[in-house]
A and B are shown apart, each in its own frame.
Chain A
Amino acid sequence: MKTDKLIDAIGNIDDRFIEEAHKTKERKRFSLSWPTVRNVAVAFGCFLLAVTLLPNMFSHASSANKSDSAGGAYYDGYYTEGMNGGASGYKPSYEASTSYVSDEEATYAAEPGSGNYSNAYDSPTPEPAEPDLVTANKKMIVRANMTAETQGLDETITKLVTQVSAFGGYVQKSSTYDAGSARVYEATYRIPADKYQAFLDSIQDAGNTVSYFEETEDITNTYTDIEARLNSLKAQEERVTELYKQADSIEDLMNIEERLSDLRYEIEYYEAQIRNYDLLVAYSTLTISVRETKVYTPTSTSFLTRLKNAFANGWHNCLDNIGDFLIDFVYNIWTILFLAVLGYVGYRVYRRIRNKRNG
């Protein structure tokens, strides 16, 4: 009863006190409370930790043949596209890779393994018929992508470059960079088409192939069309040149010269195309990416083996991630300190302003 009386009395206090307190309710939506800041900071910290640690963990746990101690994110694109051969030791043949012929004539039968997406794990290995793109009198452009891993990147690079030179090829471009926990070498090689298979054989022991994708484009028809068009233009050019010699008026000469100029422009254009195609056909293109790793990707599909490998690789992965995290933290320590000081000063200023405002 006494409390009721007090509550009733408080209910009738001066309006200005009620209004003054009500203003704090309006302030609520703009204020940044310490609990909120603290919760947001903790959540952000957890998020950063998760972003740093979890992706690699999940990528390794999800599939044993995808596990890679040097961080799986790099290989994700290949895996999800199902192009991963995952073979141990390099198998640069059609049956160990995914291969197809992109061709306006759809000449699948002409290529071994073409049109059939095979995988080293799940399909028997037929004896490959060595494709002879040059002698078959077909114009074929071979392009391939390879991802591999090695335990000694420098030796692998040396070996690869040596083999490229030995087979008469050249390095179109190359780069080496540090991808966090591992170094990665990326390069595009141009290898004479007739020596391409031999070249692939020669680099078998340079590292462990994780995936290999090869595409063969048959440009025979296009090439033949261009050749025919070029011959026709050349014949026209000869005839027009004859006419030029026989012309007797200035007007005729002008017209014939204009026509000759057009013809020669077209001829040059088609000749350039032919040269470009010749180069593409003569030299196969191999884009290779080699990642340095401590443990090779496992090759067995047995569940227990995969489990064992996942466990072992997971440990390496964990150590790598912790190392990466520490390195990233130390790398950003000055930024973190600066932001912390800035935040602290800002908080103190805000408190001071708020206290002044509240009297």
Chain B
Amino acid sequence: MEDLKIIELYWNRDEEAIRETQNKYGNYCYSIAYNILYNNEDAQEIVNDTCKATWDAIPPAHPQNLSTFIGKITRNLSINRLRYLKADKRGGGEVALSFDELEGCIADTQSIHEDQDNSELTESIDRFLATLKQEQRQMFVCRYWYFDPIEEIAVRFNCSDSKVKMSLKRTREKLKAHLIKEGVINENR
């Protein structure tokens, strides 16, 4: 079923919308959740929670792109679940590695403004991503949005693991420079 029809079902409060979402985006949501939680049952639970959250969000929301809308919900729910489960003791999994990589990028000498609005930060990152080459941008999003393993990204982009690591490292450095330039993070703090 097309996304527009599914959204229409949500707006009509038709429960068929949940079934269609499960059918169409169940695997997609599961892969995002599993990449973050590394647990089959948790991932499955997040997929169900995503459907419920989507049911609550539409209406009033009217997403232009249903897949990314649902993906974002899944990602947020999964990260929240991870924080709840692990608190500060993050275990294994790609998300922990991704956290470490990003932490290495900004933690030592910079800090994000405490009062920084999250939407401003997101807009700044959007502007940064728009300046990147497509391949670099895709690698960055695969790694830090989808939390895909390095090896999988390398296979997908037809290159070696080290090339992916190098590309991500450069992108992180560029991101740091961009955020400093835009005043989102402070230097030498």
Chain A residues proximal to chain B, CB less than 8 Å: 2-15, 17-25, 27-28, 31-36, 351, 354, 358-359
Q: Can you name the residue of chain A whose Cβ is closest to the Cβ of B155?
A: A33
Interface SS of chain A? helix
Q: Let me know if B106 and A27 touch, CB within 8 A.
A: no
- Note all chain A residues with C-beta closer than 8 A to B67: 19, 22
Q: Let me know if B122 and A21 touch, CB within 8 A.
A: no
- Note all chain A residues with C-beta closer than 8 A to B98: 7
Interface string of B117-161 (1 = CB under 8 A from A): 011011001100100011101100110111010001011111110
Instruction: Please count how many residues in chain B sit with their CB below 8 Å of the partner chain's CB atoms.
Output: 47
> Number of A-B pairs whose CB atoms are under 8 Å?
122
Q: Let me know if B133 and A13 touch, CB within 8 A.
A: no
- Note all chain A residues with C-beta closer than 8 A to B125: 9-10, 13
16 further A-B contacts with Cβ under 8 Å, apart from A9-B121, A21-B142, are A5-B116, A6-B121, A8-B118, A9-B122, A10-B145, A12-B118, A13-B141, A15-B68, A18-B72, A20-B141, A22-B68, A24-B156, A25-B142, A28-B156, A33-B154, A35-B160
- Tell me the bound Cα distance from A20 to B107 in angstroms: 29
Closest Cβ–Cβ distance, residue A28 to chain B (whole Å): 5
Q: Let me know if A20 and B68 touch, CB within 8 A.
A: no
Q: Let me know if B156 and A31 touch, CB within 8 A.
A: yes
B12 interface hit (Cβ, 8 Å): no
| Neighbour of A354 across the interface among B76, B119, B155, B158, CB < 8 A | B158
Closest Cβ–Cβ distance, residue A8 to chain B (whole Å): 6
- Tell me the bound Cα distance from A48 to B160 in angstroms: 26
Q: Let me know if A3 and B99 touch, CB within 8 A.
A: yes
Closest Cβ–Cβ distance, residue B145 to chain A (whole Å): 6
| Subset of 28 A-B contacts with CB under 8 Å | A2-B103, A2-B111, A2-B112, A3-B102, A6-B102, A7-B99, A9-B118, A10-B144, A11-B72, A11-B76, A12-B72, A13-B122, A13-B145, A20-B134, A20-B138, A21-B138, A22-B28, A22-B67, A25-B142, A27-B156, A28-B152, A28-B155, A28-B156, A34-B160, A35-B154, A35-B160, A354-B158, A358-B134
Chain B residues proximal to chain A, CB less than 8 Å: 28, 64-65, 67-69, 71-72, 75-76, 79, 83, 98-99, 102-103, 106-107, 111-112, 116, 118-119, 121-122, 125-126, 129, 133-135, 137-138, 141-142, 144-146, 148, 152, 154-160
Q: Can you name the residue of chain A whose Cβ is closest to the Cβ of B75?
A: A11
| Neighbour of B118 across the interface among A2, A5, A31, A36, CB < 8 A | A5
- Note all chain B residues with C-beta closer than 8 A to A32: 158
Q: Let me know if B134 and A7 touch, CB within 8 A.
A: no
- Note all chain B residues with C-beta closer than 8 A to A5: 112, 116, 118, 121
Q: Let me know if B79 and A7 touch, CB within 8 A.
A: yes
Q: Can you name the residue of chain B whose Cβ is closest to the Cβ of A25?
A: B156
Q: Can you name the residue of chain B whose Cβ is closest to the Cβ of A19?
A: B68
With known contacts A18-B68, A18-B71, A19-B67, A6–B112 Cβ distance under 8 A: yes
- Note all chain A residues with C-beta closer than 8 A to B107: 2-3
- Tell me the bound Cα distance from A359 to B137 in angstroms: 11
| Neighbour of B157 across the interface among A14, A20, A24, CB < 8 A | A24
Q: Can you name the residue of chain A whose Cβ is closest to the Cβ of B124?
A: A9
Closest Cβ–Cβ distance, residue A322 to chain B (whole Å): 34
| Neighbour of B142 across the interface among A24, A33, A36, CB < 8 A | A24
Q: Let me know if B126 and A14 touch, CB within 8 A.
A: yes
